[in-house]
Structure 1
Amino acid sequence: MKGEDLIATFRRFVREEGLLRGTERLLVAVSGGLDSTTLAHLLHAEGYFIVIAHCNYHLRGEESDRDEAAVKALAETLGVPLAVGSFPLRKSDGNVQLRAREIRYTYFKKILDEYSCDLLVTAHHADDALESLLFHLIRGTGLPGIRGIPSRTDFPLVRPLLSSSRSQILEYARQHGLTWREDASNQSDDYARNRIRHHLVPRLQEMGLTPEGASTTLGHLRSAEFFYLRGLASVAETCLRRQGGRIVFDRRTELLTFTDTLTLLHHHTAYMGFGDDAYRQMLTVTGNRIIPGRGYRARVSPAEIVFEPGTPESAAEEPVQVHRLPFTAELPGGRIELAVTDRPRVLSGADQYCRLPELPLLLRPRRAGDRMQPFGMQGSKKIQDILVDDKVAIWERDDLRLLCTPAGSIVAIVGHRIADDWAVGEQDDRVLRIRLQKGNPALP
């Protein structure tokens, strides 16, 4: 393809999608790489008023500073305003990509206001949309994931290169003598999207798949989503109602199949942080049940499901310290009661018993890699594997609490297993009783 193909594709996509009128003031996010450098040059050449914005996270040392220098040089060459934000991050700062994204868009919002810009413009293109589609297909998704990256969002943000391929962008950059920076991390297979780009996409292209063909399909899917959303809104009127900050679903409706209901609930409550297994539990559980989400909860009864604000996940995940006995705590999995009692004749039953540990104790959620040796077993085992073997439902596992000593030794999986080291012996006259009462409060 020739460089002019990018211009033609850009103009057609902008016209068909109604993205730009030509009178807006545009804030262009530029990393210094090929795609964003080309976008800034193209928009400027097409006569748009642009401001360039760049974020330096200092994650790659001098390389990050060279990226910033390249962006400054581009802005000077084009003669356009430039805004640069410095936000030092460390690779140890949890999910760095997510953190950087949050910082980036907060900064862009600030610069939009400072420069009186109407829209943020990013350089996502057809190859990105294809990779995003494949990524979501691998993870599991619905139509919003299949239709790929949207051409606009309410941010306000537009992506005018979504119908343009990486090869078109590269040819344009070469024809116009542009220079850009290459991020070495783009060549690494440490990230799932890079593995898709380096290994899966080339195989599919060998079979005839092209970014241009995928772009056409994604365009039809974006159109289909428009009607899909209207249909969801129409169906919701028959079985969903909003009461202030709550959403109430009528479980007695006969209009929807099981899968239809999953789709409807997921669409209207996706921001509440429920997983697929949680939704399935809502539709299959009998009696009353509370199912926690992320800052929300679902209160289930035979007649309805009430989605409402609940205990924030961060609070629910905080360890609880036990400084004295008896002790009672209301936690997501139910009420946990700890008390010292005489050794019972029979140690089996709903309650658990263990040797008396020294205080303080800790009740905490399970963590990746947690291990213990269950009573009666040889060798230690991952908590995750113990729960699988005991057929503990997926949606109950995150609600479980581990009883631990201050040194970190796991005494018990509350409600399920006692560690072998803490099993009651014949010489133990006084023991610790662990009682779990699962909460199923009645719904209003």
Structure 2
Amino acid sequence: MGKQNIFQHARGQKECQATPPLKNRMRGICCRKLSLSRKHDTFNHGRNCNGMSFIYDIIDKVRLNVLKYGLVAPGERVVVAVSGGPDSVCLLDILYSLLQELEMELAVAHFDHGLRPGEDQEETRFVASLAAARKLPFETEKAHIDVAGGSLEERARKARYRFLERVRIRLSAQKIAVGHQRNDQAETVLMRLLRGSGTGGLSGIAPIRDGKIIRPILDLSRSEVESYLKERGLQFKTDPTNRDEKFLRNHIRSLLIPSLQQYQPRVIDILAQTADILREDNHYLEVVSGEWLASHSKVSQKGLVEIGVTALLELPLAVRKRVIRHCIKTVAGGLSGVSLKHIHAVHQLAAGRRSQGTLCLPKGLVVDRVYDRLSFRMGPAARASDYFYLLKKPGRFTLEEAACVLFMEEMPREKGSIRESDPWTAHLDAERIRYPLVLRNFRPGDKFIPLGMRGHKKVKDLFIDRKVPKDLRSRLPILLSGDEILWICGMMLGEVAKVSPRTEKILKIKIVKSLHHERGEKG
């Protein structure tokens, strides 16, 4: 049977023995007519009036959400992602109840992560039975998750979405429906808040993403989902990994949110509302930055994007950073591997006093500044020895690239002079530096004012004078405040933040070689 016939066959079904849909599919239902239509509905069998009212209210809430955000257009095909858990079972049942009213076509897709042998197979059979009971097309696939790189949770998520996209293309569907609900939204906002996200991250889960990933039950709470399943008599599977406390989301769900609810019982609703507000604000800023970029950038046939530094710096900071993100997305095709520290580094390149410089970002992306032009391009990947870290405050920092550990401590200056006897220890005037400090290796064109001198000297010339081997030059750490070199570690201090008789507080920096590559937090 062809793909179109399969979908038409599914849409034409009028009965489902396991979970009968609404005969009228909620068409034209409103609050003042519910009492007239419910007594004839198949949901009524064996159910009290209150339970029926609740079921209708939940379905109507999802229907209004679909219409509000334009999640599904008439005639569209929707792949419903069903894991077998409560959220996805609820999602499937409600969409099936709205199938004719919304004039859509449904298929069921289930991804076997292969992480729980035996249980995964049972879940696959269970979801297949849900699709068969509704006579809907069913697609499944067992995972082949790459064991390298990233967390297991994140790799599983990416593999699942790749599978869903393959199914969508194979079935010529327009949308993929997933079962995120309001509690998921609150958990996501808290997770991103703890990780230091901006307005984009704190916008949480969008009702529709990339024009094809839709979340019809996002306005339902977890308790509403569970009550709906109970009233409908629907079975579901429970994933034991949802209780595994090695995952941050589970900690937030079981510990943090219950604690917050002691102070504000409506914290779930408030966090979801906050996400909606921030999503609107973020959308506006994204539109503004996109329009600015369209009128102020040059895009070559080779994929190079070029913008003016002066014009960029005239923008508000929030718009500036979004312009940089747009440039990176345009050239690299996305923001994979790019974090806030990289956006900040590009902004420093543009706002700094140096008229020329180059920055190598993940995935082979290169940003060049040449006087008043800032260009983004794909180029040769940075050398393995290149590194760039932001030090936001004093503390301990492990630099694996140079096999050393750096200790920074602020302290009041003691009476008497400071003698620099150890080349791997430095004392700086803490009042004359600004955070975050930059710790990186040598870059061509680096200049600094050596301690006790007035004029600049090329770092390359210092390396030549000291006969530093070329392979060591690329590993030797250099500490900067803004664009000014404070210390070429192990070799020479700069003049810019030297300790003077008026210094009251010093920053002591000590570097210790680590033969064991001690692990520590970077940044």
TM-score (norm 1): 0.69
Q: For the residues of structure 2 that align with 1:93 and 1:67, how far apart are their CA atoms?
A: 27
Root-mean-square deviation (Å): 3.5
Residue 4 of structure 2 aligns with which residue?
none
Residue 215 of structure 1 aligns with which residue?
272
* Deviation by residue 1:363-406 (Cα, 9 ceiling, x = unmatched): xxxx989599xxxxxxxxx735369997995462699xxxxxxx
Matches within 5 A, 1:293-372: 293-294=361-362, 295-312=364-381, 316-317=383-384, 332=386, 370=400
Residue 16 of structure 1 aligns with which residue?
68
Counterpart selection for 1:243 from 293, 296, 300: 300
Query: What residue ranges of structure 1 are gaps of 5+ in the alignment?
Result: 318-330, 335-366, 373-381, 400-414, 416-430, 439-444
* Deviation by residue 1:190-228 (Cα, 9 ceiling, x = unmatched): 112222222222233331434344434433433333332
Cα distance, 1:26–1:247 mapped onto 2, change above 3 Å? same
1:43 aligns to 2:95 (yes or no): yes
Query: What residue ranges of structure 2 are gaps of 5+ in the alignment?
Result: 1-50, 389-396, 410-423, 427-435, 444-459, 461-467, 476-523
1:227 aligns to 2:227 (yes or no): no
1:56 aligns to 2:92 (yes or no): no
* Deviation by residue 1:50-105 (Cα, 9 ceiling, x = unmatched): 21111112111112122212212222222222111012448677533333233322
Number of positions where the alignment pairs a residue of Structure 1 with one of Structure 2: 352
1:169 aligns to 2:190 (yes or no): no
Cα distance, 1:281–1:8 mapped onto 2, change above 3 Å? same
Cα distance, 1:262–1:369 mapped onto 2, change above 3 Å? closer
Cα distance, 1:264–1:203 mapped onto 2, change above 3 Å? farther
Q: For the residues of structure 1 that align with 2:229 and 2:387, how far apart are their CA atoms?
A: 57
Residue 436 of structure 1 aligns with which residue?
473
Matches within 5 A, 1:35-434: 35-47=87-99, 48-89=104-145, 95-154=151-210, 156-206=212-262, 207-236=264-293, 239-244=296-301, 245-253=303-311, 255-258=314-317, 260-269=319-328, 271=334, 273=338, 275-282=342-349, 283-284=351-352, 286-294=354-362, 295-312=364-381, 316-317=383-384, 332=386, 370=400, 383-385=404-406, 394=438, 396=440, 434=471
Indicate the SS of the match to 1:252.
Answer: helix
Residue 361 of structure 1 aligns with which residue?
none
Larger Rg: 2
Moved more, 150-159 or 292-301: 150-159
Indicate the SS of the match to 1:385.
Answer: strand
Q: For the residues of structure 2 that align with 1:155 and 1:106, how far apart are their CA atoms?
A: 16
Deviation at 1:250, TM superposition (A): 1.8
1:163–1:212 CA contact under 8 A, matched in 2: no
Deviation at 1:277, TM superposition (A): 4.2
Q: For the residues of structure 1 that align with 2:344 and 2:158, how far apart are their CA atoms?
A: 28
Q: For the residues of structure 2 that align with 1:107 and 1:434, how far apart are their CA atoms?
A: 45
Cα distance, 1:212–1:14 mapped onto 2, change above 3 Å? farther
Q: For the residues of structure 2 that align with 1:258 and 1:19, how far apart are their CA atoms?
A: 33
Deviation at 1:302, TM superposition (A): 3.7
TM-score (norm 2): 0.59
1:33–1:181 CA contact under 8 A, matched in 2: yes
Q: For the residues of structure 1 that align with 2:215 and 2:193, how far apart are their CA atoms?
A: 22
